[in-house]
């Protein structure tokens, strides 16, 4: 082997390692950028990492499942079904109002957004755990300090970056 071919192999290997490292680190960098946006109250920067239509659908699905589960335990009769229908019709406008940069800020600190409550202080540092669920899904579990349950923030690939596209309550 010549010196130039050895340098080419070493250079190529280095380039591959750097590319893979950047690819693996990208969701962590996205989370870091989002937390800085929350701390700096920068709604525009935070919003750039969120797929709001997908997030709204995810919150609606979670909320409807929670309401249906609660109502089925309380009353499985026709009155329970009417309550479920009523709750579902109320959920949509409430979710649309709650899924905002302020609501995402609350999710990032492990709190469920509430349309009637102002956003909590961004100084609250939640307990976080994070990792890949699969190649295209990265999950961050955020729990307020000392809490037993939290919220899963589900990130999906968007081009070379990652966006918040869903939540799972009660993680």
pLDDT tens column, 54-93: 999 988 888 777 776 766 666 656 666 666 666 666 677 7
Give the model's pLDDT for residue 144: 80
For the chain, give the mean pLDDT: 80
- pLDDT higher than threshold 80 for residue 117: no
CA distance 66 to 82: 16
CA angle 5, 10, 13 (to 5 degrees): 125
Query: What span, in angstroms and rounded, lies between the C-alpha atoms of 28 and 131?
Result: 9
| Confidence band of 10 (pLDDT split at 50, 70, 90) | confident
Note the pTM of the prediction, 2 decimals. Answer: 0.75
Q: Is the pLDDT of residue 164 over 60?
A: yes
Confidence at 121, pLDDT banded by 50, 70, 90: very low
Q: How many domains does the chain have?
A: 1
Inter-CA distances, 126 with 11, 50, 56, 111, 123, Å: 41, 19, 23, 9, 9
120 against 85, higher pLDDT: 85
Q: Quickly state the pLDDT bin for 123 (edges 50, 70, 90).
A: very low
Return the pLDDT at 77: 64
166 or 60, which is more confident?
166
pLDDT of residue 55: 92
Q: Where are the beta strands (DSSP E) in the chain?
A: 127-134, 137-143, 151-158, 161-169
Domain extent, residue 100, equals: 3-169
Separation between Cα atoms, residue 135 and residue 11, nearest integer Å: 27
Instruction: Answer whether residue 52 shows pLDDT above 90.
Output: yes
Residue 118 has pLDDT above 90, yes or no: no
**Mean pLDDT throughout 8-20?**
85
């Amino acid at each position: 082997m010549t010196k130039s071919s050895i340098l080419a192999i070493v250079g190529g290997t280095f380039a591959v390692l750097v590319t893979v490292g950047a690819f693996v680190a990208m969701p962590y960098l996205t989370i870091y950028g989002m937390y800085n946006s929350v701390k700096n109250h920068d709604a525009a920067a935070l919003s750039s990492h969120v797929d709001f239509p997908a997030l709204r659908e995810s919150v609606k699905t979670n909320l409807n499942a929670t309401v249906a589960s609660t109502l089925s335990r309380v009353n499985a009769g026709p009155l329970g079904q009417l309550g479920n229908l009523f709750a579902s019709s109320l959920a949509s406008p409430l979710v649309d109002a709650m899924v905002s940069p302020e609501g995402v800020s609350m999710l990032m600190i492990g709190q469920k957004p509430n349309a009637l409550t102002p956003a909590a202080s961004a100084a609250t540092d939640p307990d976080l755990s994070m990792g890949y669920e699969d190649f295209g899904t990265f999950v961050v579990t955020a729990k307020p300090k000392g809490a037993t349950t939290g919220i899963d923030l589900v990130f999906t690939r968007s081009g070379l970056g990652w966006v918040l596209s869903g939540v799972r309550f009660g993680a």
